[in-house]
Amino acid sequence: MRNPEDELISIMKSVGVDYVLSLPCDRIKNLLLKIPSEFVNIPLTREEEGVGISAGAALAGKRPAMIIQNSGIGNMLNALLSLTSFYELPLAIFISHRGIYKEKIAAQKPMGNAVKGLLKASGVGYTVVDKREDLARIKRPLEMVYEKNRIHAFLLSPRVWEVECANKWNPEDEKRNPVASRIRTDTGRHILAPEYTRYEILEIISPYLDGKLVVCNIGIPSKELFSIKHQPSSFYMLGSMGMATPIGLGVALSSDRKVVVIDGDGSLLMNPGTLATAAHLAPGNLTIIVIDNGAYGSTGSQPTFTGSCVDLEIVARGFGIKNTVKVAGKKQLTDAVKRPVRGLTFIHVLALPGNADVPNISLHHLENKAEVQEFLNPHHT
Q: Tens digits of per-residue pLDDT, 336-371? A: 999 887 899 999 999 999 999 999 999 999 999 999
Evaluate whether 98 touches 112 at the Cβ level (below 8 Å). yes
* 188 in any annotated domain: yes
Q: Which of 161, 196, 221 is the last residue of a domain?
A: 161
Between 230 and 170, the higher pLDDT residue: 230
Examine residue 166 and state whether it is found in any structural domain, yes or no: no
**Is the predicted pLDDT of residue 230 greater than 70, yes or no?**
yes
Non-local (6+) Cβ contacts of 344 within 8 A are: 278, 279, 282, 283, 284, 286, 287, 288, 321, 322, 323
Domain CATH for 313: 3.40.50.970
Q: Confirm if 257 and 212 have CB atoms less than 8 A apart.
A: yes
Assess whether 94 and 188 both reside in one domain: no
Range of the domain at 57: 4-161
Three-state secondary structure call for residue 55 = helix
pLDDT tens track for 130-182? 999 999 999 999 999 999 999 999 999 999 998 644 444 455 555 445 444 44
| Number of neighbours of residue 113 by Cβ within 10 angstroms | 12
Are 139 and 182 in a shared domain?
Answer: no
Work out the mean pLDDT of the chain and round it to a whole number.
90
On whether residue 260 sits in a domain, the answer given is: yes
For the chain, give the number of residues: 381
Closest CA to 275 of 226, 344, 329: 344
Task: Identify whether residues 177 and 131 lie together within a single domain.
Answer: no
Give 247-303 pLDDT, tens digit per residue: 999 999 999 999 999 999 999 999 999 999 999 999 999 999 999 999 998 888 889
Q: Is residue 256 part of a domain?
A: yes
Q: What is the pTM of this model?
A: 0.83
Indicate if 21 and 155 belong to the same structural domain. yes
| pLDDT tens string 186-216 | 555 567 899 999 999 999 999 999 999 999 9
381, part of any domain: no
Q: Evaluate whether residue 104 is within a structural domain.
A: yes
DSSP letter at 13 equals: H
Distances (CA, A) of 294 to 93, 186, 218, 304, 310: 26, 15, 16, 5, 10
**CA-closest candidate to residue 119, choices 149, 87, 89, 97:** 97
262 and 345 in a single domain? The answer is yes
Shared domain check, 340 and 250: yes
Same domain, 63 and 206: no
Q: Are both 38 and 64 inside the same structural domain? A: yes
Distance CA(76)–CA(47), nearest Å, equals: 6
Number of domains in the chain: 2
Residue 309 lies in a domain: yes
From 100, 126, 161, the end of a domain falls on: 161
**41-59 mean pLDDT:** 92
Last residue of a domain, one of 161, 188, 204: 161
275 in the same domain as 145:
no
Q: Three-class SS of residue 95?
A: strand
Question: What pLDDT score was predicted for residue 188?
Answer: 56
Asked if residue 178 and residue 157 are part of one domain, the reply reads: no
Position 238 pLDDT exceeds 90? no
- 131 and 177 assigned to the same domain: no
Same domain, yes or no, for 157 and 177?
no
